Structures are given as C-alpha cells and as structure tokens.
Amino acid sequence: MRTRYFSILLLLCLSTGLFAQSAYQPTEANLKAREEFRDNKFGIFLHWGLYAMLATGEWTMTNNNLNYKEYAKLAGGFYPSKFDADKWVAQIKASGAKYICFTSRHHEGFSMWDTKFSDFNVVKDTPFARDIVGELAAACARQGIKLHLYYSHADWSREDYPRGRTGRGTGRPNPKGDWASYYRFMNNQLTELLTNYGPIGAIWFDGVWDQDQNPGFDWQLPEQYALIHRLQPSCLVGNNHHHAPNPGEDIQIFERDLPGENKAGYSGQEVSQLPLETCETMNGMWGYKITDQNYKSTKTLIHYLVRAAGKNANLLMNIGPQPDGNLPETAVRRMKEMGEWMAVYGETIYGTRGGLVAPHDWGVTTRKGDKLYVHILNLEDRSLFLPLTQKVKRASLFKDKSPVKMTKTKTGLLLDFPEVPKEIDYVVELTLE
Ligand code: H79
C-alpha cells in the first residue's frame, strides 16, 4: 500500500515537474510585440496558392475530391506575370493596415517559398520560379510593414500527413500517414521561414481541427511553439483552432466573428486576456473566386474595423489575389477608401484599447490616454445615453473639435447632437478627468 502511495506521489511530482519545465513564459520581447500587435489594430490577410488558378476558392481540392497527383500539375502552369510585391505592399499600406498575413502554405500543401523540404513549391515546381514569400518579405521590409505568415497544419497532398476530417478524397495512400515524418517536415519548414526571411510578426496556424475526430491525436504543439519562440522570441504564435488558447500561444484568433459573437459557428470559445484578432473576408471567399464579386461596402468594412477595436480586437481583412498576380481591382479600391477614412480617424483606432462602455448596436467606444472615443455607427436619435460614471471634462466632435452638448446624470452621461448622426462613423471625443 505504502509503495503504491509513494509511486502515485512520485508520478505526481514528475508530472508537475514536467509541466513546470514546459510551461511557457513569454519573453520581454514577446510581451512588447503583443502590445505593438494590439496597437496596430488592422491587418490585411492574403490567401494565395495554386487554388487561385482554379478560381473557386482555396477549398476546391477537398470539395471536389481532386486527386493530389493531378492537382500538383497545376504548378506547371503557375505564372503570375503581373506579380509585383512592392505594388501589393503599397496598395495594402494605402488602406492603413499595419501588417500583412500571407499564406505561406495552405491546406493544398503547396509552399509559396524556396523550401528545401518539399519540391512542391513555387521555385522548384513552377515556370515562375520566384520566391514569393521572399519577395513579399523584402517589399514589406522596404516599405515598413510587418509580415505575418499563415501556415497550415492540415495537408491534403502529403502522403505522410495522417488523414483527417478533410482532404479525404484526394487519393493519398496510407490513411495513417507518418506523423514523425510530417512533424519533422513542418518544423523544418518553420525553421526556414523564421531564419531566411527576416523578422516575422506572427505564425498563424490553421487546420488543427482536421484531427478533432482522431481520438488521442497529439499535434505536439508546445514543442513546435517553443521552436518558433526560440528562433524569433518576438514572433507571435496564433492558432485558428476555434478553441480557447493553448499554452504557448500569444494571440487569440477568431474566424468570421467578433470576440464574444458566434454567428458563423466557429467562435463559441471563451474570450481570453491575450491580444485578440478576428479575420473576415472582403467578399465571401478566402482564396480568389471568379464568380464572387459580392464585396462588402467600404462602410461595412470600416464598421467591422471599428467594432473590432471596440471589442479590443484587431481586424485581419482578407483578399484573394488573382492568378495573374494582381489584387482584385475592387479590393484595391476598398482598401484605398478605408485608408482615406483611417487618415482622418486613425487616431481613434490605432493604439487604442476597448473603451469603458460595452459595445452596443449603436456603436462602440475606444480608449487611449485620457480620451474616450465614442464611435456612433447606427443611431436614429439626436441624443445618446452612455452609462459612464467616470468624470468627463469635455465632449467634442472628433473631426472638427466643435463642442458636443453633454449632461451628467446620476447614472451616466447624455450627449446631444445638432442632428441625427449620418456619417459612416460619428466620432465624439470625450476628455476624461
Ligand atoms: O484559411 C481560411 C479557410 O480556408 C480556413 N480558415 C480560413 C482562415 C477555413 N475554411 N473553412 N473553415 C476554415 C471552416 C472550418 C470549418 C470546420 Fe470543419 C468546421 C472545421 C471543423 C469543423 C469542415 C467541417 C471541416 C471539418 C468539418
């Protein structure tokens, strides 16, 4: 009996010891990068790979059960003659975005950089033979914008990737795969990405959900995250697994919903204290879809950005570049218009944190220093009551600093406007005591 207790005790000590050893402590550099990430507020997501050529989105391979050997032949025709990384970066910067998140390798398994660890890549396997991640990284560095890299955990082309919920009809033999080989492959690739392309702002994982129904499957994430942090301590790790964050992750990602909302169905998870980011498509698809011209209006896009900021989250807005290498014209126009708005109102977004008043249908608040910005997005009245108990020194219209009438009540503050707010975002600036 005694020996049994002893061994249980020993086991407990061992396991807590192991746990303590692997517990993630973000470095100073990482914590600083997290705050910069929060300050940046707005990024542009780019989904680009061979799927652009099929022009039906990035899930075509699995949705149409395309054979992986046939699919690989697309590479031989990949020649995006108009691709100009500097032009992309300039067009993206015009939106006011402070970072770009680029798909280095999506679920199709094609690598968009010069990788030694798979020939199924843009340099070795296409007539284009240019390192797209490399050109983009150089352009980002030249123009002073951060580069984040999306990296898929799931892979529909590799024979060593264990079969998951998706990509089941792509003809790969051996459903079991070879996990050790695949894990090594991913870590080798991540090492390349974090060694050869300068500072990478974040690694943005996606696809863990593919093994959700394989009981006991272990992605060995802590070691992979530790590798990333060892190579670049300030590189933020995010994972779009649709669950609450795991140890080792630096940001929490939401897909197609603002934190705390779950209209799309991927976001029932709790909202953590980590920096938050929500990604959304500018039309309806991530990868280029030729029939989808249903772009959100500039007003809707700005509202999404403002509502994200009000919830203390960043917006990562997606564009699917065309197979010819250009960004779609409508997307470029939307970015320009967002940028024109940000040039005026950026002060009320960048560097702010979610404000003191909870988000409402009428809008949100953001806060920076002694300023509380009231973003009125949807109001049919000439007045607005804020349940705000902090003392307010002054209320003015952000755009021209003209005074806004305010009346203190027992439970808050009543603002009166000369007219019903009609603008995209009617911003009232409150100066707090
Ligand atoms: O890269 C973009 C998309 O290709 C990828 N993530 C964004 C950023 C993505 N596409 N769809 N989804 C994610 C939704 C995932 C749906 C899921 Fe499922 C529901 C994953 C698990 C449950 C689909 C249905 C896959 C398995 C069942």
Model confidence at 10: pLDDT above 70 = no
Pocket test for ligand 1, best of 262, 279, 286 (most atoms within 8 A of CB): 286
**Residue 401 belongs to domain with CATH number:** 2.60.40.1180
Model confidence at 60: pLDDT above 90 = yes
Is 166 touching ligand 1 by the criterion CB < 6 Å? yes
Q: What percent of the chain has pLDDT over 90?
A: 94
Q: Give whole-number Cα distances, 198 to 29, 141, 143, 224, in Å.
A: 16, 8, 14, 19
The answer to whether residues 327 and 375 belong to one domain is: no
Is 102 touching ligand 1 by the criterion CB < 6 Å? no
- Supply the range of the domain harboring residue 421: 355-432
Domain-located, residue 7? no
Domain-located, residue 271? yes
Out of 328, 353, 378, a domain closes at 353
Q: Give whole-number Cα distances, 291 to 237, 243, 317, 400, in Å.
A: 34, 32, 19, 42
Rounded to the nearest integer, the mean pLDDT of the chain is: 95
pLDDT tens profile 80-123 = 999 999 999 999 999 999 999 999 999 999 999 999 999 999 99
Q: Is 11 exposed, middle or buried (0-12, 13-18, 19+ CB in 10 A)?
A: exposed
Domain-located, residue 214? yes
Out of 353, 375, 390, a domain closes at 353
The answer to whether residues 239 and 371 belong to one domain is: no
**Confidence band, pLDDT 50/70/90 cuts, at residue 4:** low
The answer to whether residues 280 and 321 belong to one domain is: yes
Domain-located, residue 13? no
* Amino acid 22: pLDDT: 62
Q: Secondary structure of 130-161 in the HEC alphabet?
A: CCHHHHHHHHHHHHCCEEEEEEECCCCCCCCC
The answer to whether residues 330 and 425 belong to one domain is: no
The answer to whether residues 136 and 253 belong to one domain is: yes
**Confidence band, pLDDT 50/70/90 cuts, at residue 11:** very low
Domain-located, residue 141? yes
Mean per-residue pLDDT, 408-423: 96
The answer to whether residues 407 and 315 belong to one domain is: no
Domain-located, residue 299? yes
Mean per-residue pLDDT, 199-211: 98
Minimum-distance ligand 1 atom for the alpha carbon of 212: 21
Domain-located, residue 131? yes
Mean per-residue pLDDT, 176-198: 98
Q: From start to end of 158-250, where are the E strands?
A: 202-206, 236-239
In total, how many domains does the chain have? 2
CA distance 51 to 77: 12
The answer to whether residues 373 and 313 belong to one domain is: no
Ligand 1 center to 215 CA (angstroms)? 19
Ligand 1 center to 306 CA (angstroms)? 25
Is 256 touching ligand 1 by the criterion CB < 6 Å? no
* Amino acid 50: pLDDT: 99
**Confidence band, pLDDT 50/70/90 cuts, at residue 329:** very high
Q: Secondary structure of 99-110 in the HEC alphabet?
A: EEEEEEECCCCC
**Residue 123 belongs to domain with CATH number:** 3.20.20.80
Out of 330, 353, 376, a domain closes at 353
* Amino acid 13: pLDDT: 42
The answer to whether residues 228 and 333 belong to one domain is: yes
CA distance 357 to 365: 6
The answer to whether residues 401 and 424 belong to one domain is: yes
CA distance 318 to 92: 11
pLDDT tens profile 248-268 = 999 999 999 999 999 999 999
In this structure, the number of other CB atoms found within 10 A of the CB of residue 169 comes to: 15
Ligand 1 center to 243 CA (angstroms)? 13
pLDDT tens profile 113-152 = 999 999 999 999 999 999 999 999 999 999 999 999 999 9
Give the list of residues 6+ apart from residue 194 with CB closer than 8 angstroms, or none: 200, 203, 228, 231, 232, 235
Domain-located, residue 374? yes
CA distance 145 to 104: 17
The answer to whether residues 226 and 360 belong to one domain is: no
Mean per-residue pLDDT, 29-39: 98
The answer to whether residues 348 and 395 belong to one domain is: no
Residue 70 DSSP one-character state: H
Ligand 1 center to 168 CA (angstroms)? 14
Tokens at 107, concatenated: 């679920």
Model confidence at 21: pLDDT above 70 = no
Model confidence at 190: pLDDT above 80 = yes
Model confidence at 335: pLDDT above 90 = yes
Q: From start to end of 182-291, where are the E strands?
A: 202-206, 236-239, 252-255, 276-281
Model confidence at 3: pLDDT above 50 = no
Residue minimizing CA distance to atom 27 of ligand 1 = 165
pLDDT tens profile 313-323 = 999 999 999 99
pLDDT tens profile 165-178 = 999 999 999 999 99
Is 209 touching ligand 1 by the criterion CB < 6 Å? yes
The answer to whether residues 170 and 73 belong to one domain is: yes
